[in-house]
Amino acid sequence: MRRQRAVVTGGAGFLGSHLCEALLARGISVVCLDNLLTGSARTIAHLMHRGDFTFLQRDLTRPVLIDGPVGYVFHLASAASPADYLRWPIQTLEVGSQGTRNALELARRKDARFLLTSTSEVYGDPLEHPQRETYWGNVNPVGPRSVYDEAKRFGEALTSAFRHSRGLDTAIVRIFNTYGPRMRPDDGRAIPTFLRQALRGEPLTVTGDGSQTRSICHVDDTIRGIVDMAMSGEHGPMNIGSPYETSMLDLARLIIELTGSRSPILFIDRPVDDPAVRRPDTTLAYERLGWSPQVTVDQGLRGTIEWFTRELALTRSA
């Protein structure tokens, strides 16, 4: 019975809310924990009426007590966009360290399988391309992005320590750039920023010369990879991301085309330590999980545009 119940930290966030839905669809009841620093109760409002869903507003940097059996602990709690973790650097480090420790302790007490959602940011500005799980990364430990990068790297080390020294059943996935419905328009990451600007007829702000690349993966594919990993016997780390790599300039042009916008492109300064390239090697996920992305970029972006159009209309009418 314990395998029929999961705890999702950061469950009111972009990824977390989609994960809660996916677990419920599998017949797994969900306890969603979130302090709502970057998450929003709106993302899970449609789940609140369900008897198999519970929301608890909690600060994960303090010990968390959950009554009853728990089979899975999914640890997603963290600021994820540069705008957020630069605004809350200490909180980002705290949830990546003490928050991860408390989530691990919860899993240990419940004898639950623990899954850490890490990030492609552990590779930093990579010198290996595409990035395999065996690559150790090129991270500036004192740069402005380090609060997120190092928090996740520490989380991976702590998760591994609990597995090796305390016998906890753990898994680590490294998530690459994910997009889709429920991203905040003011999130600060490229796709929500470009979509908000294009739909409002504002200039799309491309950093640097726009040649830097990212690999974008639709949220449905990312969540499927997370769930597949949790249900497997794999420990990871394992990359979950799309091999579709595009420059920021080409992505801006594509969004202008798909939205039918007349927005111009405006080049602005590139952030410090902004990675030049980013693309996962997903061979391991395919071989061990049979996982690969299924949602095409055109399909995924069109659906995301529809959601953003409705969201921005609601914002204007509020």
Looking up tokens 């705890």 gives: 7
- Give the residue from 33, 31, 29, 26 showing the smallest Cα distance to 10: 33
Amino acid at 273: D
Phi, psi of 46 (to 5 degrees): -75, -10
CA distance 132 to 129: 8
Report the relative pairing of strands 265-268 and 204-207 from DSSP bridges. parallel
Contact status, residue 189 vs residue 219, Cβ threshold 8 Å: no
Annotated active-site residue in 72, 85, 123, 148? 148
148 as an active site residue: the answer is yes
- At 87 the three-state DSSP class reads helix
Amino acid at 42: R
Catalytic residues, which ones? 148
